Amino acid sequence: MTNMSIRSFKLSLAATAIGAAIAMASSPVVAQQAMQPMQPMKIERGTILTQPGVFGVFTMFKLRPDWSKVPAMERKSAAEEVKKLIEKHKDNVLVDLYLTRGLETNSDFFFRINAYDLAKAQTFMREFRSTTVGKNADVFETLVGVTKPLNYISKDKSPELNAGLSSATYSGPAPRYVIVIPVKKNAEWWNMSPEERLKEMEVHTTPTLAYLVNVKRKLYHSTGLDDTDFITYFETDDLTAFNNLALSLAQVKENKFHVRWGSPTTLGTIHSPEDVIKALAE
């Protein structure tokens, strides 16, 4: 080929590549993918706990009776084993571990795993089952959900209540207790119009505002992912205030649409994962 022919050939290739790129960018699928936020290279607690689209896996465990027969040194080293596992997966999942022994009958501890990719949470839990503690414990309950933007009490749909939610700040002592309550609604609820459900949720939300100063809350959506519709997660240092909050919610009409509230309700204490395993080793 002559120099002129080679130059023309290169220009033709460049034009084809540019045209293909423009066509891909104009494709709805590609454009949508381009708009998707990139997953952070490292899990940041303050970020992942405030974002929508984050999966939450709650797994409650009961230690087997033979756990007490495991040599004391093995039980003590179990804490370091779990610590190393959490370190290994720190870029993929956020791990919280809670102690329920002494407060619950059906469990001794439970995990809350937050992850952008549900498969990453599954991998962590699968590998945990190979640890000393995991081999000596049985799963009592597993709940799976995902965080979403506010469905009802949003700036557009309910601006006054939304402002109340947004301005309420937890001001109590550092929470020592955690409560997890699964909730399932009946068919009547889901067949109501969005406007009707909004009214019910406004009545539901109003009495809760007074408790936001001493009760933290977080909601995971589970419909289609689990046999429940919501996982409600709370942290508090004031269990009396939480009890009053629960009573106020039990008295609103929206409560009539529940076919499950709790069953189980899980109450635990907040510690570092390492301290939870050390307590179980005693």
Q: Catalytic site residues?
A: 217
The closest of 207, 9, 182 to 110, measured between CA atoms, is 182
Structure-token pair, residue 105: 């009958």
The total number of residues written for the chain in this structure: 282
Helices 28-35, 3-26: inter-axial angle, 10-degree rounding: 70
Q: Are 252 and 203 in contact (CB under 8 A)?
A: yes
Instruction: Supply φ then ψ for residue 281, to 5 degrees.
Output: -80, -10
Beta bridge partners of 75: none
CA distance linking residue 58 with residue 228, whole number of Å? 13
Give the DSSP letter string of 86-122. HHHTTTT-EEEEEE-BTTBSS-SEEEEEEESSHHHHH
